[in-house]
A and B are shown apart, each in its own frame.
Chain A
Amino acid sequence: MSQRLLSAARGVLETYAQVLFLKSPWAGLCFFAATVIAPDRGAAGLLGLLVCIATARGLGLSVARSADETFFGATGLLVGLAFGLFFRPGPATYVALVLACMLGVGVALALRGIVDRTLALPILSLPFVLVTWLALLAARRFGGIEPATFSSVIPDTGMGSIYLRSLGACFWQPEPLPGALVLGGLLLASRWTAALTALGFAAGFAVYVRLGGPLDDLRYHLVGFNFVLAGVAVGGVWLLLSPTTLVLSAVAGALAAMVSAATLALLKPWALPVLAFPFIAVTWAMLHPLLHFPYARGVRPVRGRIETPEENLARVVQAQRRYPDPTVPVFFLPVMGTWRITQGHDGDRTHQGAWRHAWDFEVVGEDDRPFRGDGTALTDFHAYRAPVVAPAAGRVVRVVNHLDDNPIGEVDTVNNWGNLVLLWHAGEVYTALCHLQKESITVVEGELVTVGQPLGRVGNSGRSPLPHLHFQVQRSAEIGAPTLYGELLHYVTHEHKNQRYVTYGVPTQGQDIASVSVDAAVRQALTLSPGRRFHWHVRAGKRTFDEVWESHIDALGTRELVVVEGQPARAAIHSDERYTTVLDYRGPRHTLLGTFYLAMGRVPHLDTREVTWVDSPAVTALVAWPARILAELLMPFTSAGAVPTSTRLQRDERGFTVETALETQRVVGAGHLPDRITVAHLHGEGASRIQAFRAGKLLMEAIRCD
């Protein structure tokens, strides 16, 4: 019973938070506190919220989706608060409020469909605006509803106090104290939202003042909060926070000023307040082009869940820094063994203009030459007749197999591309493998191929003076179509004697690359299969404790390592054929899982020795809150919250050890984190011992004991 009450209360608080695009119940509590400073106004707001939700449930709407409930609830809340501000409390007012809220639900339902589908924009608080205008107009005729009186003396006139009043006005409490409470709630839940409110307001205020607008507008006509809301919406809620969107946020505030003035003028004969109309108009006008037309440079829409500006950005920044862009096509190497890229993207010979995104692969021997002997015969070349395999699963759409291989040094410029295989891949992306050997292609048009399936052999046909493979990603199934930007997956580059593993990237001219050969034993030790339990006995300085992890998978396939005994924490993981990666970590600062996340952020299932790789996991969850907030504030400008790491895998008798070095000195507040972590694995058992060091001293040691 108390559980249901608690979750209902939480739902109500989340609705309060929703008004400023937040989800935190603590912020909601601050906002609720702001509304009940004048108790009857707060009561009206709560009543409106409850009526709307009741109406929605009464109509049988599926309020199992809490987003819906918050949406209707927020409409009711705003209508109620507005009623509380504009009318005196009384039975007539409350009846009118209930009716208005029921109408609000209907209007919200009707408009939401239209706005979502036709305009493809968020509905914001449009139902509230329309219903409240309607109610205000209707109230003139109903004598029973008495308008409230405003004090005509506003003692303070400074920008700061008007700002606080504007914040309070988001909840129809245009006084400094509620505004301060709202600001407190904002700072608690999302520092960037608070910053954007200030930015939007400052821009709007500055425009108003500069253009000589009457400050009374800002004091009496409840206009300033439109600047605030527009600044937040454009700055980081639907667009990813970035230096550009900060500028746009100021622009939104400024535009809101203009639109507010215009709306004031428009509504003057009707004596209606502008409500949130300028905010909605400006936000729609700016979001529509920015969300739907792809502009480059710093303006990107938020994909997926809408959270606070810094959470939206953190998701993307982390993913972008560590993982391939989901909109970029990625492929495995189309060849086996070690090859040299003799021409890459934007190459100096032929990869230019519309065909810039291509790679030429050749094999060189120890002497750095692509041939043995004197290099006059095709068979002298290492690459000649090397098998070419499919870089991803797909379907064969074109095969050219009949052209002769040129003698060394001659080219065929009539059939530029030579013998080739053109593949279609899911996502309407095509790849071309060109200059193949005559009669060496073993697949036919229309055939489905799997990744790694042999297709043909490297030859010397087409515009090819010596045997090499030309590989490009392209937009259409035509031979010689313009290329598309694509990246290669899971390969190792050889730099002198060091080998570096790369998850995704664009190898450049002169680089030697080889695909990752998967070691079954390493893979088996790292799969962290769902259902596995890891019982660790941990010693950290004088403290000893036990921590038990379990590997979970949900219905959508999302996998996590969850601490089931010990301080609750979770780490999202992903493991496939080629590598295992820990995507993020959420939990307290001093758990073993957090150390595991830092050490095992990315581990390819390699069997090669002396391979290292780099990564940059975010450490915001692992640093103290001042450093975390600093990192958050710097996030749009630099990647402040991620620590560069360098890892290598060393095999030994009974298994292997993953050793990670962390450059903690590069991140503010990370000085207490370990700078070296080793995770020892045993064949057949997986991780068995974790050790974390800082400056040579052992910080934490954990032994598996299950």
Chain B
Amino acid sequence: MSRLPYEKPTIIKHYTGLANKLGRGPSRRDLARIDGVSIDALIEQYGTPLFVFSEHTLRQKYRDTHRAFTLRYPKVQISWSYKTNYLDAVCQVFHDEGSWAEVVSEIEYGMARRLGVPGNRILFNGPYKPEESLRVAIKEGAHIHVDHYDELYLIERIAKELGTRIDVALRINMDTGILPRWDRFGFNLDNGEALDAIRRVHAGGHLGIEGLHTHIGTFMLDPAAYGRAAAKLAGLAKQVKETTGTPVKYLDFGGGFASRATLHAQYAPGTDASPPIDDYAEAITSALLAAGFPPSELPTLMLETGRAMVDEAGFMVSRVVGNKRLANGTRALVIDAGVNVLFTSFWYRHDVLPVHDRGGMMEETVVYGPLCMNIDVVRPSVLLPPLEPGDALVIRPVGAYNLTQSMQFIRLRPACVLIGENQQVDLIRAAEVLDDVKGPERLPARFQPKRAKKA
């Protein structure tokens, strides 16, 4: 007779009274494979924590987004928002599918150019664009989205100096009936600042307006807001035509489409509550088609999607470090991935699944990361079966922002792998080593550690 596996005793409070209106209890779920590749095999080769990306999901999300919009509007161009995830491999997947690059700093601009994206397929956003980077962007034909008057004056000065006419786009903000109302980026439409800017550009004579850009929010759960934004932006586009005589070439609605993640304050899970991409497409395209553009002047619809295309393609594989009981008896789990690599835990209620469910009672658990910081909580409360140190967990969706906002804090940044369409696994970012953190440091001579004298 073989020994039974040890199952720790758990104390579960019995709830007396009427039956629980929510039913019996949640189903037990585990996730042993991603895209058919065994997670245990990945852990064996690459260790944990480990970012895993699914190329198939990336492509599928891109195509779903592309289809949703192209079905409803004749001229659509999607740009990949680099700040959401600027891994070369991920960006290249999107470029291969046909997307342009949307960058918000000269650093990201350099990343895009490094990948061979031509300048005229880069949208250059952002409130801070150093003069040198603007000159490079102008020279390479990038599409600059102007954020404020001083940037406008700077570009105009450069245009005068070069003696050429430069076409730019203006970033616009407006009231779309939602909160929070972003008014820090671009020119406001409702109080007339946008029209002023248009007139100023035209009067200057050195710049042309090729596009209008608005990015109304992030993780927007109400597609109707986009419809209102589209109607307002289309109206502004017509005013551009009236003022300058040239129709606008494109209208850029940025991104902000919700992925299937669940916000902390949200009751219904994201898989149910987040609107499908078709709803956003419907709102924007019907407003644009109803705006009354003459057919030859129909502007190209540009999108700068990020989260919606990459979030669900990213997984974090982590291993349990230890079990604890907190003072009030709440079970706690310490894992090797924390807010240093899962920054979006501050906003999302990530899905945490064991790779193998070995049975045992499910219990409300706090999941803590490895950092010695009180804020390092991956999930304040999630039902998990009993787990031993070394057991693996999958956290999802983590494709958006976690990598770009990961910290070199207390622990080093982990490796990233990409699972291809034929289940081939490629390392797309090696795990960082100490030198990656300490390499740039320069220690003054007086602080150099003294070599121990030989005895």
Q: A365-B64, A366-B63, A520-B249 are in contact. Are A386 and B71 (CB under 8 A)?
A: yes
Contacts of A517 in B (CB 8 A): 74-76
CA distance A520 to B72 in the complex (A): 20
Partner of A338, one of B67, B120, B285: B67
CA distance A454 to B59 in the complex (A): 30
Q: Which residue of A lies closest to B250 (CB)?
A: A520
Partner of B119, one of A387, A577, A608, A653: A653
CA distance A366 to B65 in the complex (A): 12
Asked if B70 is at the interface (CB within 8 A of a chain A CB), the reply is yes
In contact, A363 and B74 (Cβ under 8 angstroms): no
Q: Which residue of A lies closest to B140 (CB)?
A: A653
In contact, B70 and A337 (Cβ under 8 angstroms): yes
Partner of A454, one of B64, B67, B289, B296: B289
Contacts of A683 in B (CB 8 A): 120, 141
Stretch at the interface among A53-61, A322-330, A445-453, A537-545: A445-453
In contact, A387 and B72 (Cβ under 8 angstroms): yes
In contact, B282 and A385 (Cβ under 8 angstroms): yes
Asked if B60 is at the interface (CB within 8 A of a chain A CB), the reply is yes
Max chain B C-beta neighbours (<10 A), residue from A335, A387, A515, A577: A387
Q: Which residue of A lies closest to B63 (CB)?
A: A366
Partner of B295, one of A338, A387, A451: A451
Partner of A336, one of B72, B120, B282, B296: B72
Asked if A315 is at the interface (CB within 8 A of a chain B CB), the reply is no
In contact, A336 and B73 (Cβ under 8 angstroms): yes
Asked if A382 is at the interface (CB within 8 A of a chain B CB), the reply is yes
Q: A387-B289, A520-B249 are in contact. Are A336 and B70 (CB under 8 A)?
A: yes
- Other than the given A363-B71, A653-B120, 20 more pairs (CB < 8 A) read A335-B71, A336-B73, A337-B70, A338-B67, A365-B67, A366-B59, A382-B71, A383-B71, A387-B71, A450-B295, A453-B295, A454-B289, A517-B75, A518-B75, A651-B118, A652-B118, A653-B119, A653-B140, A653-B141, A683-B120
Asked if B127 is at the interface (CB within 8 A of a chain A CB), the reply is no
CA distance A387 to B285 in the complex (A): 10
Asked if B47 is at the interface (CB within 8 A of a chain A CB), the reply is no
In contact, B70 and A338 (Cβ under 8 angstroms): yes
Say how far B200's CB is from chain A's closest CB, in angstroms.
26
Max chain A C-beta neighbours (<10 A), residue from B74, B76, B120, B285: B74
CA distance A515 to B70 in the complex (A): 10
In contact, B72 and A337 (Cβ under 8 angstroms): yes
Q: A450-B295, A653-B120 are in contact. Are A337 and B71 (CB under 8 A)?
A: yes
Is the interface on chain B under 10, 10 to 19, 20 to 34, or 35 or more residues? 20 to 34
Q: A365-B64, A366-B63, A653-B120 are in contact. Are A515 and B98 (CB under 8 A)?
A: no
Partner of A609, one of B76, B98, B118: B98
How many chain-A residues does the 8 Å CB contact rule pick out? 30
Residues of B near any A CB (own CB < 8 A)? 59-60, 63-64, 67, 69-76, 98, 118-120, 140-141, 249, 282, 285, 289, 295-296
In contact, B118 and A382 (Cβ under 8 angstroms): no
Say how far B280's CB is from chain A's closest CB, in angstroms.
14
CA distance A450 to B295 in the complex (A): 8
Q: Lowest 9 CB-CB distances: which A-B pairs, in order?
A: A337-B70, A337-B71, A653-B118, A386-B71, A366-B60, A336-B74, A454-B289, A452-B295, A517-B75
Contacts of B295 in A (CB 8 A): 450-453
Contacts of A386 in B (CB 8 A): 71-72
In contact, B67 and A515 (Cβ under 8 angstroms): no
Identify which of residues 416-461 in chain A touch chain B, using a CB-to-CB cut-off of 8 Å.
Answer: 450-454
Q: Which residue of A lies closest to B249 (CB)?
A: A520
8 A–B contacts, CB within 8 A, in A order? A335-B71, A366-B64, A387-B72, A454-B289, A608-B98, A653-B119, A653-B120, A683-B120
CA distance A61 to B260 in the complex (A): 84
Say how far A631's CB is from chain B's closest CB, in angstroms.
42
Identify which of residues 380-395 in chain A touch chain B, using a CB-to-CB cut-off of 8 Å.
Answer: 382-383, 385-387
Contacts of A520 in B (CB 8 A): 249
Contacts of A653 in B (CB 8 A): 118-120, 140-141
In contact, A336 and B71 (Cβ under 8 angstroms): yes
Contacts of A577 in B (CB 8 A): 296
Say how far A324's CB is from chain B's closest CB, in angstroms.
22
CA distance A520 to B210 in the complex (A): 12
Q: Which residue of A lies closest to B294 (CB)?
A: A450
Say how far B170's CB is from chain A's closest CB, in angstroms.
19
In contact, B74 and A452 (Cβ under 8 angstroms): yes
Contacts of A451 in B (CB 8 A): 295
Say how far B55's CB is from chain A's closest CB, in angstroms.
13
CA distance A691 to B98 in the complex (A): 28
In contact, A515 and B71 (Cβ under 8 angstroms): no
Q: Which residue of A lies closest to B56 (CB)?
A: A366
Say how far A396's CB is from chain B's closest CB, in angstroms.
17
Say how far A531's CB is from chain B's closest CB, in angstroms.
21
Contacts of B119 in A (CB 8 A): 653
CA distance A382 to B71 in the complex (A): 9
CA distance A577 to B63 in the complex (A): 27
Say how far A634's CB is from chain B's closest CB, in angstroms.
44
Q: Which residue of A lies closest to B98 (CB)?
A: A609
Contacts of A450 in B (CB 8 A): 295
CA distance A385 to B140 in the complex (A): 41
In contact, B63 and A515 (Cβ under 8 angstroms): no
CA distance A451 to B298 in the complex (A): 13
Contacts of A366 in B (CB 8 A): 59-60, 63-64
Contacts of A365 in B (CB 8 A): 64, 67
Contacts of B120 in A (CB 8 A): 653, 683
CA distance A366 to B67 in the complex (A): 10
Say how far A494's CB is from chain B's closest CB, in angstroms.
12
Say how far B400's CB is from chain A's closest CB, in angstroms.
21
* Interface flags, A306-339, vs B, CB<8A=1, else 0: 0000000000000000000000000000011110
Say how far B439's CB is from chain A's closest CB, in angstroms.
33
Contacts of A654 in B (CB 8 A): 118
CA distance A387 to B74 in the complex (A): 10
Say how far B64's CB is from chain A's closest CB, in angstroms.
7
CA distance A336 to B289 in the complex (A): 12
Say how far A2's CB is from chain B's closest CB, in angstroms.
52
Contacts of B296 in A (CB 8 A): 577
In contact, B60 and A515 (Cβ under 8 angstroms): no
Contacts of B64 in A (CB 8 A): 365-366
* Interface flags, A489-525, vs B, CB<8A=1, else 0: 0000000000000000000000000110110100000
Contacts of A382 in B (CB 8 A): 67, 71
Q: Which residue of A lies closest to B76 (CB)?
A: A517
Q: A451-B295, A520-B249 are in contact. Are A337 and B289 (CB under 8 A)?
A: no
Contacts of B74 in A (CB 8 A): 336, 452, 515, 517
Say how far A656's CB is from chain B's closest CB, in angstroms.
11
CA distance A457 to B165 in the complex (A): 42
Say how far B71's CB is from chain A's closest CB, in angstroms.
4
Q: Which residue of B lies closest to A454 (CB)?
A: B289
Contacts of B69 in A (CB 8 A): 337
CA distance A517 to B299 in the complex (A): 12
Say how far A622's CB is from chain B's closest CB, in angstroms.
35
CA distance A430 to B21 in the complex (A): 60
* Interface flags, A59-85, vs B, CB<8A=1, else 0: 000000000000000000000000000
Q: Which residue of B lies closest to A339 (CB)?
A: B71
CA distance A515 to B119 in the complex (A): 27
CA distance A382 to B64 in the complex (A): 10
Contacts of B60 in A (CB 8 A): 366
Say how far A611's CB is from chain B's closest CB, in angstroms.
12
Say how far A578's CB is from chain B's closest CB, in angstroms.
12
Say how far A471's CB is from chain B's closest CB, in angstroms.
16
Say how far A522's CB is from chain B's closest CB, in angstroms.
12
Contacts of B285 in A (CB 8 A): 387
Q: Which residue of A lies closest to B74 (CB)?
A: A336
Contacts of B141 in A (CB 8 A): 653, 683
Identify which of residues 329-378 in chain A touch chain B, using a CB-to-CB cut-off of 8 Å.
Answer: 335-338, 363, 365-366
CA distance A323 to B38 in the complex (A): 55
Say how far B305's CB is from chain A's closest CB, in angstroms.
17
